[in-house]
Every structure is written in C-alpha cells, then in structure tokens.
Chains A and B, each alone.
Chain A
Amino acid sequence: MEEKQEKALISLRNLQVSFKIEGQYYNAVDGVDLEIMPNEVFAIVGESGSGKTALALSISRLHNMNYTRISGHILYNDENLLELSERRLNKIRGADISMIFQDPLTSLNPLIRVGPQIEETLVYHTNMNKTQKKERALELLNQVGIRNPDVTYQSYPHELSGGMRQRAVIAVALACKPSLVIADEPTTALDVTLQAQILDLLRALQREMQSSVILITHDLGVVAEMATRVAVMYAGQIVEMASAQQLFKNPRHPYTRSLLASIPHADSENDRLNAIKGIVPTLKYLPRQGCRFSHRTPWIPQSEHEADPKYHEVSPGHKVMCTCHETFRFETA
C-alpha cells in the first residue's frame, strides 16, 4: 500500500519570516511546512496580510535583508537556500526559480527595451552569444503569445499595454526554463478578460515546460481553475492544505469555509455579502497563541479550540489546523 514517494522539488521546513518594526522583529510567516512536487500548480490563498507574499519572496530571498529575518529550511536539490551566499543563490535565481510579480506596469525597467530585459536573465545563466540571446528572446515573446515579437523586442515598456507587459514579464520568468515559477498574484492588476488569458497562458506553459508553479492569490476562482493543491494561509500560518478538489468539496477549517462562503453568487437569493467579520490583524498585533482565527469567530466558545493548535489529517493529504473545524458552524442571525 506504501506507494513510492515522489521526491519533492522544494520543501520548506518550519519557515519563519520576520520583519523589523520599530527595532523589533515580528513574524509574518510563522512556522510553515510545505512540499512542492515537480510539475504541479500549488496555490497559496489568503486575505491581504496573511503572509503569502512574505512567504513567496523568502523562497529566493528577495526581501530587503536589512529589515528581514528568515529562519528554518528551504531545501532545494539537497541544499538549504537560506544558507547559500548571495553569489550561489544568484546562480539559482532566474535559472531554477523565477518570479512573476503582481503589477506588470511597474515590474519592467522603464529605461530599457523589452528585449534586453528578457535577455538579462540569459546573460547570467547561459553562455549564449548576442544572436542566440536575441533568437531566444524572440522565441519567448512568441511563446507568451505576442503577435509581433520583433516590434515588442524593440519597444520600451511604456509603449505596451498592461496585458502585453505581463506577457513580457512571463517571458522574463521563463527564459531559462526554471523548474519553479513563483507567481505573486499575477492577474490581480489586470482586467477580467485579460486575467483569463494570462491564466490560460500560464497553465499552457506550465504543462509544456513541466515546471512547477506556486500561485499566490486571493482569488478562489483562480485556484479552482489552475491549482492541483492548495494551502490556505491565515496570520502567517497554513491553516488548511488539501488537493484543490478536496478543498472545494470538503472545506474544513472555519477560515476556509468563511472564505468560500464569502464568494458572491449571481443567483443568490440573499442579497447580503457574507463578509468575514473583522480584519486580518496588522503584523505588530498578530495573535501569537491559540487558534489565530478565533477572534473573528467570537460565537465559538474557546473550549472548542486547541490551546496549542496542531494539524489533524482529515483524509490522506488533507490537513487542518486546530480542533475547532470539527464543531464549527456559521453564526446564526
């Protein structure tokens, strides 16, 4: 019955990311354990401030390290990325792990033409000569669905539309065929039709290149469309992790269920939006003990929470934090 376990592409062990506020460090990511398998789309969802971007940026250590502390392990190819020197890490950044950022309007350097910006990745990871690099850049532009690669290659970022720019950013990310692409809300800044196009493109490219994608989003629709597995983050912790199918079919954690309940439906009889009460606390005032979501479900008595919440496996590959998921019910009006 024991199946041969596939080796994880990258695994995070007890990852802690903390930021300096007024001289003190506060954890934005608080003990995350994750394994990303080869060739999968792993989604991380949560509200703004839940720590998902802090988590994503820490994988290739893109934080400003003057104000950030990262501890734990990020294992990639049997190496702990957190212990690598900046020089060694630069060999991995762009070549093995690359990023797609949220806002295509600001993620390209306004003074440099699009072509050379794509080639910049190739400069540091390949021995291509000038013509080879240009060929590769044009090929990439073509791959990400840009119709006139020659024109776009010569264009400055401000001459392109938002969608075109995000395609160019994707081309940058894919230049060296990385095994892991971290996409931090890649469609948030785009309008709805473009969102669908960009997601289709990402999924097609992921299948073609057999690479893994960590998709950071707060849009559950995007998750349903793209992801194979999902982690739900709240206040710096993963509160529930499951395959996308299981998560939507059988959401367990109160936070997951509240998120799903808050999606508006066009055919809903109830006109009121099921918003989650309260807000994510700011980093400085994050609850550090007990079930961190409990303060937004005040009708659930404390006795139903664990004092020191642990993960409970509800089905194979489906983990939920804290016992409160067993008895959780929505507040009755």
Chain B
Amino acid sequence: MYKTILRRFLIMIPQLFVITLVMFILASQMPGDALTGLLDPNMPLHVIEQMREDMGLNLPWYEQYTLWIAGMFQGDFGMSTTHRRPVEEVIGERIWNTFFLGIFSLTITYLIAMPLGVLAGKYDRTALDKAIAIYIFMALAMPTIVLGIVLIFLFSPIGTGWFPLGGTVSAIVLSSGTPFEIFMSRLHHMALPAITGALVSTIGIIFMLRANIVDKKASDYVSLARSKGVPDRVIFGKHILRNSLIPVASNIGLVIAFTFTGTVFVEMIFNFPGIGRLFLDSISLRDFPVVNVLVLFFAFLTAVGVLLSDIILTIVDPRIRIR
C-alpha cells in the first residue's frame, strides 16, 4: 500500500513536467507580455525594450522554461510581475481563503447530495424521486455564472441583503470580535460562493447514489437477505446503502479536485480574494510566474485527488486491494 502511494507520487513528477511544458508553449503563443499595457504610453520604446531584456522576456520560450524549472528546483518560484513580490507570497496570502471556501463548498455539496441521493434511490419512481429529478435538471441546466448572479440578485445587498458581497470577513468583526464571531463572519461571507460552487457538484453524486441504490435494491443478495427474514430497515442500511456508497466514496478525491479548480469561476463572480481570482487576473495581466505556479498546483491537486480516490476505494471495498 505505502509502496504504491510512493510509486504514484513518483509517476506524478513526469506528468507535472509535461503539464508545465504544454503550459509554457501555450503561454508563449499568447499575444502580449507582462509589460503590455502596464506602462506609461509616453515612455520611450527603447526603455521598454531594455526592461524586457532585463526580465528575460526576449529569450526564446525554451530558455525561459529552463530557467524557470531550474529556479523551481532551487525553491525559487519567481517574482510576480504585477505584484513585484515573490510568487509564493502572493499565492500564500490568498490560498487559505480558497482552502476554506473549498472545504465549506464540499461540506454543502455532500450535505445536499447525500440525503437527496438516498431519498431518490430509496423511493425511486415516486413523486419525491421526480421532485429530486427536477432539482437535478435545474442544477444541470444552470451555468455556475448564471447561478452566481441569480444568488447575488436575490440575497446580496442588491436584493434581500441576507448575505454580504465581496471580501472574506467583516472589518468591524475582525477588529473587535471574538474568534467565534470572526469564524461566523467568514462563513457568512463564504455562503453564497460556496453554494454556487457546490450545486454543480451535487448533480453527479445524486445521480450516482440513486442509480446505485436502485440497482442494489434488485440485487440477488438483497433478495437473499429478505428471504432470511431480515427487516427492511436493516437491509437498506447494511446491504443496499453500504454497497451503494462505494462508488460515491471513491469519487470524493475527484470531487475535491473539481471543487478547488471550480472556485476559479466562483471567486471571479463573487470578487472573492482567493487563488482562483488571482489565476484569472494573472492571466489577463500576463503575470506568467504566478500562472505557472498555480497551474502546477491545480494539476498536483487533481493528481492527488485521483490517488485519494483509489486509496479510499481499497479501504471500503474488500474486492480491491493494491499491493
């Protein structure tokens, strides 16, 4: 088991290499660079050219790439061209916001998806199941961006004002509140973005859980359990639900990766100061040192998510063992 995990991490290294390479080539094809549009239009051209030369932007992409990789191996993540600070600092001050938003979003995802999936499966082909199906298709048809805007119109200060818009915590609470009040204020600020991010993820989980429960209800081992005189309540928990939860459990890693990469749009809509918004801002400002590190981070997260799924699967399903 531990050997496998180590091996999977080692395999990740070439994968991440390829990703950085592709990213570098694509970035080199984009029009403009970090200096475009940032400078005073009255600045003489030869000064700009000199700055390009100093920042190494005139080197061919493969030389820039080699320099970047060499820096990474020495723990030098580079300088953000817009913030004029080390990349790790710029990312470091935003990553926790995204982390908490992601955790909150995941919690909401499973709090919605698990009960709905179980109910839809347990009472399949009833009115309840159909009502849940309506929820699924509405969530499916609603793009994250539209949902975010709808929520802003309804619940932010523009609408009912139940939830604040923008920022992560209220300034007054931060300066004078107890830790608990600060925590609640954070949750309050994160609620709308977290719900927006969660809704899309619930669809797959509900679908999967419902289909599995319906399938297991008709399985032979459930008939056998019924023929033993086991009460239906026990059969549902012990035989149907446990077997149906396996694919859901093994899917958690992927949902985690999806939730964190999905915050890119959510943070943009809600003007939330996390790494997702930083990512989009950095792309439009051609701040490639930041973009590169974030892409690497998202790629790493996805790879770890897949690995996590496999590990969970071997824990919950005796039929699957990795050696």
Q: Chain B nearest CB: distance from A105 CB in Å?
A: 9
Which residue on B lies nearest to A169, using beta carbons?
B224
Residues in A whose Cβ lies below 8 Å from that of B238 = 109, 112
Report if A234 contacts B (CB, 8 A). no
Query: Looking at chain B's contact residues, is the secondary structure mostly helix, strand, loop, or mixed?
Result: helix
Query: In the complex where A121-B228, A124-B228 touch, is A110 in contact with B319 (Cβ < 8 A)?
Result: yes
CB pair A125 B229 closer than 8 Å: yes
Query: How many angstroms from the CA of A111 to the CA of B243 in the assembled complex?
Result: 7
Which residue on A lies nearest to B216, using beta carbons?
A109
Report if A312 contacts B (CB, 8 A). no
Query: How many angstroms from the CA of A99 to the CA of B318 in the assembled complex?
Result: 26
Contact with B along A145-169 (1 / 0, CB 8 A): 0000000000010100000000001
CB pair A90 B230 closer than 8 Å: yes
Report if B218 contacts A (CB, 8 A). yes
Report if A172 contacts B (CB, 8 A). yes
Q: Chain B nearest CB: distance from A244 CB in Å?
A: 26
Residues in A whose Cβ lies below 8 Å from that of B231 = 86-87, 90, 124
CB pair B243 A109 closer than 8 Å: yes
Residues in A whose Cβ lies below 8 Å from that of B221 = 106-110
Residues in B whose Cβ lies below 8 Å from that of A95 = 229
Query: In the complex where A109-B239, A156-B319 touch, is A101 in contact with B230 (Cβ < 8 A)?
Result: no
Query: How many angstroms from the CA of A91 to the CA of B242 in the assembled complex?
Result: 25
Report if B232 contacts A (CB, 8 A). yes
Give chain B interface residues in 240-254, CB to chain A under 8 Å.
Answer: 242-243, 246
Query: In the complex where A103-B220, A107-B221 touch, is A62 in contact with B227 (Cβ < 8 A)?
Result: yes
Residues in B whose Cβ lies below 8 Å from that of A62 = 223, 226-227
CB pair A109 B229 closer than 8 Å: no
Residues in B whose Cβ lies below 8 Å from that of A156 = 318-319
B317 contact from A86, A111, A112, A173, Cβ within 8 A: A111
Residues in B whose Cβ lies below 8 Å from that of A92 = 229
CB pair A172 B220 closer than 8 Å: no
Query: How many angstroms from the CA of A64 to the CA of B246 in the assembled complex?
Result: 24
Report if B284 contacts A (CB, 8 A). no
Report if A306 contacts B (CB, 8 A). no
Report if B4 contacts A (CB, 8 A). no
Report if A120 contacts B (CB, 8 A). yes
CB pair A124 B230 closer than 8 Å: yes
Query: How many angstroms from the CA of A251 to the CA of B220 in the assembled complex?
Result: 35
Query: How many angstroms from the CA of A147 to the CA of B140 in the assembled complex?
Result: 55
B228 contact from A106, A110, A120, A158, Cβ within 8 A: A120
Query: How many angstroms from the CA of A94 to the CA of B219 in the assembled complex?
Result: 18
| Chain A CB within 10 A, most for which of B125, B217, B239 | B239
Query: In the complex where A64-B218, A108-B221, A111-B243 touch, is A99 in contact with B230 (Cβ < 8 A)?
Result: no
Report if A98 contacts B (CB, 8 A). yes
Report if B225 contacts A (CB, 8 A). yes
A158 contact from B218, B225, B319, Cβ within 8 A: B319
CB pair B220 A111 closer than 8 Å: no
Give chain A interface residues in 169-209, CB to chain B under 8 Å.
Answer: 169, 172-173, 175
Q: Chain A nearest CB: distance from B297 CB in Å?
A: 36
Q: Chain B nearest CB: distance from A115 CB in Å?
A: 14
Query: How many angstroms from the CA of A216 to the CA of B223 in the assembled complex?
Result: 16
Report if A93 contacts B (CB, 8 A). yes
CB pair B317 A101 closer than 8 Å: no
Residues in A whose Cβ lies below 8 Å from that of B125 = 66
Contact with A along B187-213 (1 / 0, CB 8 A): 000000000000000000000000000
Residues in A whose Cβ lies below 8 Å from that of B223 = 57, 62, 99, 101, 107
Contact with B along A110-141 (1 / 0, CB 8 A): 11100000001100110000000000000000
Query: How many angstroms from the CA of A103 to the CA of B224 in the assembled complex?
Result: 11
Contact with A along B273-303 (1 / 0, CB 8 A): 0000000000000000000000000000000
Which residue on B lies nearest to A57, using beta carbons?
B223
Contact with B along A51-67 (1 / 0, CB 8 A): 00000010010101010
CB pair A90 B239 closer than 8 Å: no
Give chain B interface residues in 97-144, CB to chain A under 8 Å.
Answer: 125
Residues in B whose Cβ lies below 8 Å from that of A89 = 229
CB pair B226 A93 closer than 8 Å: yes
Residues in A whose Cβ lies below 8 Å from that of B220 = 101-103, 106-107
CB pair A110 B229 closer than 8 Å: no
| Chain A CB within 10 A, most for which of B219, B223, B231 | B223
Residues in A whose Cβ lies below 8 Å from that of B225 = 109, 120
Give chain B interface residues in 151-186, CB to chain A under 8 Å.
Answer: none
CB pair A86 B232 closer than 8 Å: yes
Residues in B whose Cβ lies below 8 Å from that of A120 = 225, 228, 230
A93 contact from B218, B228, B242, B246, Cβ within 8 A: B228
Query: How many angstroms from the CA of A120 to the CA of B239 in the assembled complex?
Result: 12
CB pair A99 B229 closer than 8 Å: no
Query: In the complex where A111-B242, A111-B318, A120-B225 touch, is A106 in contact with B230 (Cβ < 8 A)?
Result: no
Q: Chain A nearest CB: distance from B214 CB in Å?
A: 11
Q: Chain A nearest CB: distance from B314 CB in Å?
A: 13
Residues in A whose Cβ lies below 8 Å from that of B217 = 64
Interface CB pairs A-B, < 8 A, 25: A60-B227, A86-B231, A90-B230, A91-B229, A93-B226, A93-B227, A93-B228, A95-B229, A98-B227, A99-B223, A101-B220, A102-B220, A106-B220, A107-B220, A107-B221, A107-B223, A107-B224, A108-B221, A111-B243, A112-B238, A120-B225, A124-B229, A124-B230, A172-B224, A173-B227
Nearest 4 pairs between A and B by C-beta? A94-B229, A99-B227, A93-B229, A94-B228
Which B residues fall within an 8 A CB radius of A?
Answer: 125, 217-221, 223-232, 238-239, 242-243, 246, 317-319
**With A101-B223, A111-B242 given, can you name 15 additional A-B contacts, CB distance below 8 Å?**
A62-B226, A64-B218, A86-B232, A93-B228, A93-B229, A102-B220, A107-B224, A111-B243, A111-B246, A111-B318, A120-B230, A121-B228, A121-B229, A124-B229, A172-B224
